[in-house]
Amino acid sequence: MTGILLLALILISLRLAATLALLALNRREVRRWAGSPPPAVAAIMDGPTYARAVDYSLAKSAFAMVTAVYDAVLLGFIFLSGILPALLARVSAWGPPGAAWPGAVFLILVVVLLGACSLPFDAWEQFRLEARFGFNRSGPGLWFMDKVKGLAVGLAIGFPLLWVLLALVHRAGPAWWVWGFALVFGFQLAMIVIYPRVILPLFNRLSPLPEGDLRTRLFALGERTGFRASTIEVMDGSKRSGHSNAFFTGFGRFRRIVLFDTLIGQLAPEELEAVLAHEIGHYRCGHIPKHLALSGALMAASFAVIAWLVRAPWFNAGFGFPPGSLAGSFLLFGLLSGLITFWFSPLGHLLSRRHEFEADAFARRAMGAATPLVGALRRLAEKNLSNLTPHPWFSAFHYSHPTLVEREKALALGG
């Protein structure tokens, strides 16, 4: 066993241990308040709903423990078995030396195989866990077709992108990673416009929000907050899940607001207006370009690291791949990077939660009071059976949003 392989196994074990410890802490915290919730929480949910939320949180954490162990064992097996270098050697033999497309085929095959390994857990979560608490609205046929469509879209987009990227690497010289970054980041920016117009309709039906008081309210909100969207659409999220959401996509004249039909059914018009004001707050506070800039910087750094690893003789060889194998380096980086970034996730969530507080404050100003947003957040927490008493450490590693109690406190203080 090489030193780099041993290090990878240690990192897998450390992340698994930390994940299980955080889940155990969170389960203990949830159970601690199960019988008698804090006053701030008791004001949000009635007793029976809170009891169901506790059961839901415990069931999800138990499922997360199983999947964490499975993922760690699977990743360890992949590294120790040598199956990936053997697959690369087999696929590389399909094309001439130096051809880029076999590397793209290899990467796509690995993604598909890893996805297939998670299918039983996806099905269990959908049809057992979510169904147990009344959230699943999808049948086996729809679930299967979603997987088939997702695979088809992934192949149609992923294979050409990877082929062009690997071909670019071969032709651009030592500075290939700069051009590779520009290609992938440019593709991501294009997808902001393409996804809601081309890909999302393959899975969900989008229809204009009908004329009426709600539509008038939301367009008036956009006008007075300086957020003009080309349209407001309703998405049929209820055909898959009882969970709800709202978001906006695109930019400039392509900007559109999307509301889940479940959200419209759960909230009063004033509460929906407050939710949309929160989403507009992200736009008006400049969170979107900040997120894109940070994402771009991290992606550029990732490409620079991959370029260094490709040249390092110990990296690919340590896992059984040929030295200098571009496809091998890309895959190994993808499999290993999560073992490092896991430890920095609290920093990313800290920034995200700061942005959520700022968007809440914007919504409060736009609505003239905190009451509509507080009412919406409480209703959503109730309908989604949210965990209102997470352990602080678990929240730091896994929550991109502040807890509802934290958000209400900030709104009450005028934040």
Counting Cβ atoms within 10 Å, is residue 273 exposed (0-12), middle (13-18) or buried (19+)?
A: buried
Q: Select from 290, 294, 403, 277 the least CA-distant residue to 355.
A: 290
What is the C-alpha separation between 258 and 250, in angstroms, rounded? 11
Q: Select from 133, 159, 110 the least CA-distant residue to 319.
A: 110
For β-strands 231-235 and 246-249, DSSP reports them as unpaired
What is the C-alpha separation between 353 and 401, in angstroms, rounded? 5
Question: 101-124 and 47-81 helices cross at what angle (nearest 10)?
Answer: 140
Q: Where are the alpha helices (DSSP H) in 173-320?
A: 176-194, 200-203, 213-225, 261-266, 269-284, 287-311, 313-318
> Is 358 in the active site?
no
The owner of tokens 């997987």 is: 147
Residue from 71, 358, 360, 382 carrying the catalytic annotation: 360
What is the C-alpha separation between 214 and 16, in angstroms, rounded? 47
For residue 137, how far is the Cα from the chain centroid? Answer: 21
Tokens of 322: 């040929």
Tokens of 257: 């607001």
Q: Which residues pair with 269 in a beta bridge?
A: none
Helix, strand, or coil here: 145?
helix
DSSP state string for 18-72: HHHHHHHHHHHHHHHTTSS--HHHHTTS-HHHHHHHHHHHHHHHHHHHHHHHHHH
Both ends of the chain: CA-CA distance in Å? 55
Asked if 244 and 262 count as a contact pair (C-beta separation under 8 A), the reply is: yes
Q: Where are the alpha helices (DSSP H) in 125-238?
A: 131-132, 140-172, 176-194, 200-203, 213-225
> Is 356 in the active site?
no
What is the C-alpha separation between 209 and 215, in angstroms, rounded? 6
Residue from 279, 356, 382, 408 carrying the catalytic annotation: 279
Which residues are catalytic, by number?
Answer: 279, 360
